[in-house]
């Protein structure tokens, strides 16, 4: 298909858009439109689509502008809230990472030292302040003290971290 626009198309367009076609057109222009394929197509398409526009405009179903305005205001406010919440969420993630790193370092360090502080606890129980020897079972030495203290500690840490994340992300 070759693109060869007609020089008189603009003239036809102006008359169509002003609503004066064919009344204000010259017989010569009307004869040209009948003979020129570009102008004939232009006329047919413009008249058809403008007629369709008129029909559609009349059948348009409009909502209340107030409702749309309110919706836009609500969305804009939510967007602003999200903008404010972004750095806060970042801070939460950072705090969580730091907490996990510290907890990890603590666990590694304690596992290397063999949980020395537990021996202090054992000595404490033998001190004069505490006469709890009968309470300590003979099996106490057989218990894996590392696991006994570390597991509840880690479990508590995980529960608290989960709670922290939940509180940080809960928007309701």
Partner 1 sequence: MNWEYVIPNVEVGDRPRATELPMNNEAFAGFYERSARPLWAYLARVSSDPALADDLMQESYVRFLCASRADDGEVASRRYLFRIATNLLRDHWRRPASASIEDLPEELFATSDRSDHIAQIRLGRALARMRPRDRQLLWLAHAENYSHREIAEITGLGTASIRLLLFRARRKIARFLQEQASVAREKQ
- Residues of this chain that interact with partner 1 (CB under 8 A) are 1, 3, 5, 17, 40-42, 44-46, 48-53, 55-57, 59-63, 65-66, 68-69, 71-73, 75-77, 79-81, 83-85
Q: Decide whether 20 or 76 has the Cβ nearer to partner 1.
A: 76
| 90 token code pair | 């970042």
- Among positive and negative, which fits the CA dihedral 129, 133, 134, 135? positive
Q: Decide whether 112 or 171 has the Cβ nearer to partner 1.
A: 171
What is the number of other CB atoms lying within 10 angstroms of the CB of residue 167? 9
Nearest distance in Å: CB 20, partner 1 = 14
Q: Decide whether 85 or 115 has the Cβ nearer to partner 1.
A: 85
Residue given tokens 């030495």 in the structure block: 141
Q: How far apart are the C-alpha atoms of 45 and 39, rounded to whole Å?
A: 10
Nearest distance in Å: CB 71, partner 1 = 5
Nearest distance in Å: CB 88, partner 1 = 9
Nearest distance in Å: CB 67, partner 1 = 9
- Among positive and negative, which fits the CA dihedral 83, 88, 89, 90? positive
Nearest distance in Å: CB 85, partner 1 = 7
Residue given tokens 């995980």 in the structure block: 158
| 108 token code pair | 């590694």
Q: Decide whether 72 or 159 has the Cβ nearer to partner 1.
A: 72
Query: Is residue 114 reached through a cis peptide bond, with omega within 30 degrees of 0 on the bond before it?
Result: no
């Amino acid at each position: 298909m070759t693109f060869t626009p007609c020089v008189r198309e603009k003239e036809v367009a102006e008359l169509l858009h002003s609503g004066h076609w064919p009344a204000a057109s010259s017989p010569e222009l009307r004869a040209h439109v009948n003979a020129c394929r570009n102008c004939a197509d232009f006329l047919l398409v413009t008249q058809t689509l403008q007629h369709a526009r008129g029909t559609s405009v009349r059948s348009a179903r409009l909502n209340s502008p107030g409702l749309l305005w309110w919706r836009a205001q609500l969305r804009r406010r939510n967007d602003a809230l999200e903008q404010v919440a972004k750095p806060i969420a970042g801070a939460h993630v950072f705090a969580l990472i730091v907490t996990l790193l510290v907890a990890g370092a603590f666990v590694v360090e304690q596992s290397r030292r063999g949980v020395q502080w537990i021996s202090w606890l054992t000595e404490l129980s033998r001190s004069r302040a505490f006469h709890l020897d009968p309470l300590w079972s003979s099996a106490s030495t057989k218990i894996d003290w590392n696991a006994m203290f570390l597991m509840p500690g880690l479990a508590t840490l995980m529960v608290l971290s989960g709670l922290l994340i939940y509180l940080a992300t809960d928007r309701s």
